[in-house]
Structure 1
Amino acid sequence: MTKSKKYRDRIYIVKDIILTLSEYGHLNQTALFSFCGLNISKHKEILDNLEQNDILQRIETVEGKRTITIFKVTPKGMNFCHEILEPYEQLFPRSGKSSDSSVNLGCLFFV
């Protein structure tokens, strides 16, 4: 019997991408996907969407025959993380992160 992988909501994937890039400053696409535990073919559209919304900046450099794509977080992206994503995760923590689920249910009940 195989173990199923945990599902991660898109909003948490976005937060992980922004926090990983802010921690390292900038990363190439392969390193970013590796550090965030993402699949390039499945999750590339998330990066494209973040770039279109000016959350991330894509920088392409050519070295010989190779094109290297580097990603950086924009100030708008950091602001988005602090103003939207962090409060969201406080209200709706990821599964398994909270030891006292009654507190979370209370928050959900009153919201």
Structure 2
Amino acid sequence: MNQVVHRFKAEFFKTLAHPVRLAILEHLRSGEKSVNELQVLLGADQSTVSQQLARLRAGNLVDTRKEGTTVYYMIRDPLVFDLMDVAREIFNRQLISHQALLRQVSEEVPLP
């Protein structure tokens, strides 16, 4: 595959690779939200929320709509939720695998 395509994909995943951005996307799953609404939901200050929304917008993951002085953010492509759901399943499987390994280790009989 072409390096340009790899770079594009890497940038897409970098856009997702931040806890606040992931939390924002999860909150937008239920519909558009204003910056103020997201601040309350995230328990974060306005500058943090705005900075992360700007990154999501630059990565073409969210769109905006302005109503008076309020800017509302919404998901640009709902397929991002399918990706997040698949990632959650992968994480769950990894955690289950780690739990099984921890169980095996804890059940080992110590050598004399």
TM-score normalized by the length of structure 2? 0.57
- Structure 2: distance between partners of 1:50 and 1:104: 37
Structure 2: which 5+ runs fail to align?
A: 1-16, 103-112
Structure 2 residue 80 is matched with structure 1 residue 80: yes
Q: Which residue of 1 aligns with 2:28?
A: 21
Contact 1:27 1:71 in 2 (8 A): yes
- Structure 1: distance between partners of 2:82 and 2:34: 23
Mark the CA change 1:105 to 1:68 in structure 2 (over 3 Å): closer, same or farther.
Answer: farther
- Structure 2: distance between partners of 1:105 and 1:31: 42
Mark the CA change 1:92 to 1:40 in structure 2 (over 3 Å): closer, same or farther.
Answer: farther
1:70 partner letter: Y
CA deviations on 1:42-84 (whole Å, 9 max, x unpaired) are 232110011122211111122xxxx111111121xx322322x
User: In terms of Rg, which structure is larger?
Assistant: 2
Q: Which residue of 2 aligns with 1:109?
A: none
Identity between Structure 1 and Structure 2 (%): 14
Structure 1: which 5+ runs fail to align?
A: 1-9, 107-111
- Structure 1: distance between partners of 2:82 and 2:40: 24
* Greater fraction helix: 2
* Greater fraction strand: 1
* Count of aligned pairs: 85
